[in-house]
A and B are shown apart, each in its own frame.
Chain A
Amino acid sequence: GDSVTQMEGPVTLSEEAFLTINCTYTATGYPSLFWYVQYPGEGLQLLLKATKADDKGSNKGFEATYRKETTSFHLEKGSVQVSDSAVYFCALRKQGGSEKLVFGKGTKLTVNP
């Protein structure tokens, strides 16, 4: 079945460091891909998305590119801030009708000043 694999956390960085969180997926066809973020004590919120191959989603300095050839959607940010400390979830939505999202297990990011 469809699945999402994220790099294991936790990830600890210093402020202004470069961030990459790897995400790969298994699905037939062309799923839509998402990154959600969960701040402490809150629900998830959409960070960015891409709905077709080679699309780049971006928001708040974060970027991810839909790579069909490597079935990947890695999250990157050039310079992280303390306020980026959160858990990041990669997710896919299968092509063709279902509203169901399949989530990865999440990667906890801590940014130290």
Chain B
Amino acid sequence: DAGVIQSPRHEVTEMGQEVTLRCKPISGHDYLFWYRQTMMRGLELLIYFNNNVPIDDSGMPEDRFSAKMPNASFSTLKIQPSEPRDSAVYFCASSLGGLSYEQYFGPGTRLTVT
């Protein structure tokens, strides 16, 4: 299995632009998670889905952030408009859930907003 796939790996954009991050979870996994990692705040859960349905979006920082999962093999995290404080590494993870507790992380997207 290829593991969790994220694209792009690096993104540099200007303040005010729209940014879309993409994730392909491991086939057969029912849960998908989006995290943000910064030096100041560490690793934060933004949102997670179960069977393509958002379950907990309490970590989404504000209305500029939105996430979708149109099918079991694809999810997007969109920031519109982007701001310099959104600069971070964004990770996607997936899991089988239930008794199988392990989350499998993708390599991350490093976002820089100038």
Binding site for B on A (CB under 8 A): 32, 34, 41-46, 49, 51, 89, 93, 98-101, 103-106
* C-alpha spacing A43/B104, complex, angstroms: 8
- Whether B43 and A45, one on each chain, are in contact in the complex, defined by CB atoms closer than 8 angstroms, is no
* C-alpha spacing A101/B103, complex, angstroms: 9
CB-based nearest A residue for B40: A105
Number of interface residues of B (CB under 8 A): 22
Number of residue pairs A-B, CB distance < 8 angstroms: 46
**Which one of B14-22, B66-74, B75-83, B90-98 is at the interface?**
B90-98
- Whether A34 and B91, one on each chain, are in contact in the complex, defined by CB atoms closer than 8 angstroms, is no
Known contacts A99-B31, A100-B45, A104-B42: does B101 contact A45 (CB below 8 Å)?
Answer: no
* C-alpha spacing A103/B107, complex, angstroms: 18
* C-alpha spacing A5/B43, complex, angstroms: 13
CB-based nearest A residue for B98: A99
- Whether B108 and A43, one on each chain, are in contact in the complex, defined by CB atoms closer than 8 angstroms, is yes
- Whether B48 and A103, one on each chain, are in contact in the complex, defined by CB atoms closer than 8 angstroms, is no
- The winner among B43, B48, B50, B102 for most chain A CB atoms within 10 A is B43
* C-alpha spacing A45/B93, complex, angstroms: 10
The 8 closest A-B pairs by CB, nearest first: A43-B105, A105-B42, A103-B43, A44-B105, A46-B102, A43-B107, A43-B106, A99-B31
